[in-house]
Amino acid sequence: MSIIEKMSKIVNEGDTTSAERLIHDDFQFLMHSTGKSLSKKDVVSWVGMKDVKKSNVRVLFENGEVGFEHAMVTFSDGNKEAVMSYYKFKDGKVVYQETGATKLPK
């Protein structure tokens, strides 16, 4: 299973233990929708909230250094987005992630 596939599984299951293992300590998550940057602690906590479900996940490209994914995301409040994610990897873990999202009708 690829790193991106593992991340999607972790998010969908709300698996904070696996998130702790797969996310690098130097992790940074840049969300273009808000301009906010999140840390590993922030993202692991968010995963545990089980706020989002990813579907139609497509790994567009992945190697040992970077990866690109497109997925449909449904939030617990019913909002939906099409999300493009860019990942950087370090030591086999996710060290950086950027997302761009397009809101979809509920």
Please report the pLDDT score of residue 98 as a whole number: 95
Asked if 93 contacts 4 with a C-beta cutoff of 8 angstroms, the reply is no
Question: Token pair for residue 74?
Answer: 């449904």
pTM (2 d.p.): 0.92
| Mean pLDDT across 79-94 | 97
Q: How many domains does the chain have?
A: 1
Round to whole Å and give the CA distance between 75 and 81.
8
Q: What is the tens place of the pLDDT at every residue in 39-80?
A: 999 999 999 999 999 999 999 999 999 999 999 999 999 999
CATH number of 47's domain: 3.10.450.50
- Range(s) of the domain holding residue 59: 3-104
